Structure 1
């Protein structure tokens, strides 16, 4: 017994050693097998065939959005080659034991093409995770064969241009815990119907993450979302199409951490006054109504990291926000919050993002706001702040926007210490004093700088040799410049340059032609002379050179593939004909060459431009008839046509009038004003338009997409007014004055219920003036100089007696009252447009518009402030 005991220890040791050796050897063999023999031939072949279904296109994956949401785009499928283990291919993951492909991540891979319903991808029956986000599948439908992935846990097809109805088979994926179907918010091409959603809610009992951003769910009752699993942690319904009252019981889901809901039209949700889910970390609401005030109970959300509320909130910011110690992002922009910024916000020392833009906040900016230690993004634009800016005490800021306030005094010198700053907007304030450009020399990370529309004088030091190499967007409108800023000369990434309303004299420098990704160039309202360089139009989407002294022919050619969207040469001394090469600019939306000396016949060849919406040829030397040589409809999208002050003759262009579809179609259900603009990567630029009213020119700093205007005045047009004008039901402005038109005013024009301005004066019109609708609002000046006209509002009656009925004085008073009411009530489009233009003209609002993403690509950007309905009559009457 004792001998056995002595021997058992060495034997046990030997036994353990042999076991470990065997296990180690097996591990090495398994490891070798896993790196060389995992992927089956069948699955590798299926992936290779899937690869051939698509081409690689650089436009298929947005680098900016990819980097924000996922990762930097890459050509993942280029590593997919026969003879190489597919488990080592980019984006492919395999099970270490079975060798089956279990995960496929092809997000941001530049895939381009139609997604086939019989794709070999469906051979991968063991797939547990599929990510196809940020590619371009050309509006394909999501294949119903997706139900074959019975083991799928994660499905992401976001932002990949899928469209049509989401297949009901998605609801037959029982193990799904994460479903992402998000679509680009302005397309709404992907539709989720009630039946599919009901099945999805019923069958997907394990779902934790549901992202439906940008999906059209108009038929779904918001109450159905309350049937989702109580284990839900993320619900993203931002930028989706939903209507109705979303139940606020969503705030009581026990595990919900992230909730995003937006829809400005007919979507509401009530913020609870108590019993919030304490686990909520991210809350984003951008809806038409969430209650008048932000409740004090918001301070109960101790875990909240990000809070964004845009739902017409009123009153002051509740003091209880100070009780949110984890808050890193606070966005209360686009509300009606008033009063001063509460000192309690100073307690939010973890804030990295603060936006209070587009409210009614006032008072001075509190000093502590520039001392928050971690603050990177500060947006306080479009409020009523006044006074001076305190010195900056920390340098963590990367984005600073104080535009559109009443701030005054000098720009603090300490701004030079913000070495991390990439975005600076101080435009549309009352800043004064002389600003040396050298102040910004240390800001080597600066990408955007807007100083427009202040009382500043920006001076360039001739001896300064600094550059800002990262500059992409520059706006120095109304900065008393007398020369081009030399420090932007070597900014090779420049995308937009706005130097309008200055006193710059001379020629356009050659170095501007070398900015080959330059998209927007606005040098309007300066003293520039000479000929326009031939190089400019080849690169740009916007070229605005109006109100200068350029002369000579428009000799520069417009090459094939020309990307111009807006060409504005209004108010120069250009002569010669309009170049036919303009037809190469197929994206052209606005063409304004008014008030020059351009000659020739009507350029009917512009009919071939499919997107042309605004055409201004006024005050030139055009002549001949305005007729089409085509039998097919032309100028279908044209909404503004101004041919006034030329030598056009012959009858009204009836063929064109009958095909102005954009002047006939309804504006849609959403009445909120939109403006024509040219997008860039992070910003957009509003188009402008000069209009004439009672002999004065006004520049509208924004063209409403609903604006509909026809001006053929001051020509030699003859014949009758065509009844077909009555079909232009969107028309807000009709001016046929100072021509040779004869006959009666067609009764059909009474159907123009959007008409705000009518001028038929100085023609040879006869007969009774039509009555009803808008015609009850127009005064004598709309008809003067037509001796054959009679009836209200003229003093000449149509019964030959010479005076109207005795009640005319009363009707005249009613007309005067009615005109004022109609100006505010009818034709809101042109009123908004004129009002916006008037406000810009009077108080200097900028045409340069702020960032789409407001520093955060997860949001669509700040909204334009709603114009207050003041001083309208001062402009129109």
Structure 2
């Protein structure tokens, strides 16, 4: 028994030592490849933890499995190298499964150096947001990565070439993202699918200028398809039996035809974007049972909103029907959309009073867009009950009467954007608007508002955009506005405002646009305006400003529009203003 025991012990010890030697050998090989990659970089200060005689598993961005390099993540690292180096050293790592070099300043064509090979275990390659270039046909070189399943080359400079006409992409991918390149071929989708798409689950081609046909009817596992922002115009795509499809975005193309019929089998869609195409007629029947986000904006749909859309309320989170030719009333059934966060029917032909009772029941509503319609009547006091609302756009309608004093009465309101411009609103601006403490943008222009600008608006510490022009406001600009250090835009033209420009506005150093034309302002143009380094537009025309033009305006290096027309200015035009060499558009006519 003893000799047998000694033999087994010796054998086990030998096997352990052999395994240690093998792992050590592989570890050394990984280290050599990683250090060779670093040595190929133009800047050796990058990847500072990658040093000799150290375990490569401790290198920054490197992950190991069983002491072998399995994953590399170097996103947002300025490697400043080309794909050849990546292929020669990183893709050659025998046990590499995932390589992510997003936004790593990788350039060059996708090709492998002679004699190099790709890891047979590599499944995921992310080279997005780089400057890779060359013809798309070079992707075939990645065929040397036999198990590659996910490939992200979005936001690069890849181009189409004539070779796509004869050769298909022979990669069995599950995920392919070629968004935001320079692809323009008319046969690109057939080329991508030439080798079959049995495994394809995610295809993104957004932001190119691709034309031609789209037929993904054989891609039975496809869950995500985004071909938005291209130049497709061949009727409607063919989806076939699309039961797996959950996300479909064909927006910003030139599609037309019966899209409802083509996607009728896509019963599991939760995201559907058909915006900015040429679909017309009535809104077709759509598979809505699981829809969470539906975008139909920017088409030529007409007629009333079909009642069946209210049946999606159980799941619907966003609905955008803006920029069509829809008319009639908002269906009352939308009141059951308790999960809806965004409802936008702007730029249509809807009429009637604001159906506040519908929106009050949308307990999750954050954005309400009704602009550019024909809604009329007074603004309901109960608008204040929409406590989760962040954006309220009722502009360019026929609303009349006063702005409700109660609009911001609840201190828990979340309103950030309030657009009421281009209506028939009367009365004064409620001082209580200051209770909307989260306001970033307030636009009340093109109405018949009277009275003074409330001093309480000076407490809106997050306000960036204040536009009150073309009303009947009088009095002076409140000094309290100088407390709004976030203010970027101040537009008060075409009112009856008087007095000087408040000196306190010099504290609003982020101002980019000051427009006070066609009022009754007096006094001298303040020299401190020259200290506003971001000021791009200054319009003071048709007032009663007097004195000289302050030469300090020449310090406004961002200025592109200066209008001092029709005031009582005298003296000469400061020569320093002409040193801006075309940055400034000047209108200096000194009208009397």
**CA spacing shift, 1:373–1:508, aligned 2, 3 Å:** closer
Which of 436, 456, 462 in structure 2 is aligned with 1:587? 462
Q: Does 1:256 align with 2:84?
A: no
In the alignment, is the contact (CA less than 8 A) between 2:168 and 2:192 conserved in 1?
A: no
Equivalent position to 1:523, from 394, 398, 416: 394
Name the structure 1 match of 2:369: 498
Tell me if the contact between 1:496 and 1:518 (Cα under 8 Å) persists in the aligned partners: yes
Choose which of 733, 737, 744 in structure 1 pairs with 2:561. 733
CA distance in 1, matches of 2:53, 2:337: 55
Give the match for residue 282 of structure 1: 175
- 1:619 is aligned to 494
Cα distance in 2, alignment partners of residues 241 and 589 from structure 1:
34
Query: Is contact 1:504–1:528 with CA below 8 Å preserved after alignment?
Result: no
Q: Distance in 2 between matches of 1:419 and 1:601?
A: 49
What is the CA-CA distance between 1:231 and the residue it aligns to? 3.3
* Structure-1 residue corresponding to 2:514: 641
The reply on whether 1:543 has 2:418 as its aligned counterpart is yes
Q: Give the secondary structure class of the aligned counterpart of 1:288.
A: coil
Identify if the C-alpha distance between structure 1 residues 741 and 715 changes in structure 2 by more than 3 Å, giving closer, same or farther: same
The aligned counterpart of 1:327 is 222
Greater mean alpha carbon deviation, residues 382-391 or residues 195-204: 195-204
Judged with a 3 Å threshold, the aligned counterparts in structure 2 of structure 1 residues 398 and 648 are, in CA distance, closer, same or farther, namely: closer
Output one character per residue of 1:98-142: Cα deviation in whole Å (capped at 9) or x when no partner: xxxxxxxxxxxxxxxxxxxxxxxxxxxxxxxxxxxxxxxxxxx99
Instruction: Say whether residues 1:208 and 2:100 are aligned partners.
Output: no
Per-residue CA deviation, residues 685-730 of structure 1 (Å, 9 max, x unaligned), is xxxxxxxxxxxxxxxxxxxxxxx42210111112333455455455
C-alpha contact 1:237 1:262 (8 A) present in aligned 2: yes
What do residues 450-472 of structure 1 show as CA deviations (whole Å, max 9, x unaligned)?
Answer: 333223xxxxxxxxxxxxxxxxx
Matched, 1:312 2:198: no
The match for 1:562 is 437
Corresponding residue for residue 513 of structure 1: 384
- 1:222, distance to aligned residue in structure 2 (A): 4.8
1:191 to 60, 77, 82: 77
Whether the aligned pair in 1 keeps the contact of 2:531 and 2:555 (CA below 8 Å) is no
CA distance in 2, matches of 1:275, 1:760: 64
> Displacement, 1:143?
11
| In 1: Cα distance, 2:363 partner to 2:556 partner | 47
Residue 660 of structure 1 aligns with which residue? 532
CA contact (8 A) 2:240 2:262 kept: yes
User: What secondary structure does 1:645 align onto?
Assistant: coil
Aligned-residue offset at 1:590: 0.3
Which residue is 1:177 aligned to? 70
**Alignment root-mean-square deviation, CA:** 4.0
Query: Contact (CA 8 Å) 2:347, 2:370: kept in 1 or not?
Result: no
Deviation at 1:532, TM superposition (A): 2.6
- Residue in 1 aligned with 2:298? 404
Quick one: distance in 1 between partners of 2:142 and 2:184?
Answer: 15
Aligned mates of 2:132, 2:510 — CA distance in 1: 30
Q: Does 1:575 align with 2:451?
A: yes
2-side partners of 1:425 and 1:732: how far apart?
Answer: 36
1:753 paired residue number: 582
Query: CA 1:444–1:583 in structure 2 vs 1: closer, same or farther (change >3 Å)?
Result: closer
Residue 286 of structure 1 aligns to a residue whose secondary structure is coil
Q: Deviations over 1:416-447 (max 9, x none)?
A: 44465513322211234x34623446666554
Distance 1:290 1:714, change over 3 A: same
Distance 2:426 2:100 in 1: 54
> Are the equivalent residues in 1 in contact too, given 2:207–2:228 (CA < 8 A)?
no
What SS class does the counterpart of residue 392 from structure 2 fall into?
A: strand
In 2, distance between residues paired with 1:357 and 1:234?
28
Matching residue of 1:231: 121
| Whole-Å separation in 2 of the counterparts to 1:347 and 1:645 | 63
CA distance in 2, matches of 1:223, 1:312: 19
- Aligned pairs for 1:369-384 (under 5 A) are 369-384=263-278
User: Cα–Cα, structure 1 residues 406 and 586, in superposed 2: closer, same or farther, change >3 Å?
Assistant: same
Q: Which residue among 522, 536, 546 is the counterpart of 1:718?
A: 546
Shift in Å, 1:568? 1.9
Aligned: 1:267 with 2:96: no
Q: Does 1:338 align with 2:233?
A: yes
Q: How does 1:425-440 map to 2 (within 5 A)?
A: 425-432=320-327, 434-435=328-329, 437-440=331-334
Corresponding residue SS for 1:384: coil
Aligned partners of 2:459 and 2:50: how far apart in 1?
A: 44
Unaligned stretches of 5+ in structure 2? 1-45
The alpha-carbon distance between structure 1 residues 646 and 390, as it changes in their structure 2 partners (threshold 3 A), is closer
**Matched residues in 2 for 1:326 and 1:575: separation?**
64
The correspondence of residues 696-845 of structure 1 with structure 2, limited to 5 A, is: 708-726=536-554, 728=556, 730-746=558-574, 748-749=577-578, 751=580, 753=582, 758-761=586-589, 763=591
Match of 1:385 in 2: 279
Counterpart contact for 1:713–1:736, Cα < 8 Å = yes
Question: Which residue of structure 2 lines up, in the alignment, with residue 651 of structure 1?
Answer: 524
SS in structure 2 of the partner of residue 491 of structure 1: coil
What is the distance in 2 between the residues matched to 1:660 and 1:496? 34
Q: How far apart in 1 are the matches of 2:260 and 2:231?
A: 20
Does the residue aligned with 2:528 lie in a helix, a strand or coil?
Answer: helix
3-state SS of 1:513 partner: helix
Matched-pair contact (CA < 8 Å) for 1:554–1:578: yes
601 and 393 in structure 1: CA distance in 2 versus 1, 3 angstrom threshold? closer
CA deviations over 1:276-307 (Å, ceiling 9, x no partner): 24321111122230243342222224221211
Q: TM-score, normalised by structure 2?
A: 0.75
Deviations 1:136-165 (A, max 9, x none): xxxxx9996999995969xxxxxxxxxxxx
**Does structure 2 retain, via aligned residues, the 8 Å contact 1:420–1:443?**
yes
Q: Where in structure 1 are there 5+ consecutive unaligned residues? A: 1-140, 154-167, 183-189, 456-478, 664-707, 765-877
Give the aligned length: 520
CA distance 1:142–1:660, change in 2 (3 Å): farther
Instruction: State the secondary structure of the residue aligned to 1:622.
Output: strand
DSSP 3-state at the match of 2:309: helix
Answer whether contact 1:363 1:385 (CA < 8 A) is retained: yes
Change beyond 3 A, Cα 1:565–1:736: same
Distance, in Å, in 2 between the alignment partners of 1:406 and 1:195 is 48
1:836-858 alpha-carbon deviations (Å, 9 max, x no partner): xxxxxxxxxxxxxxxxxxxxxxx
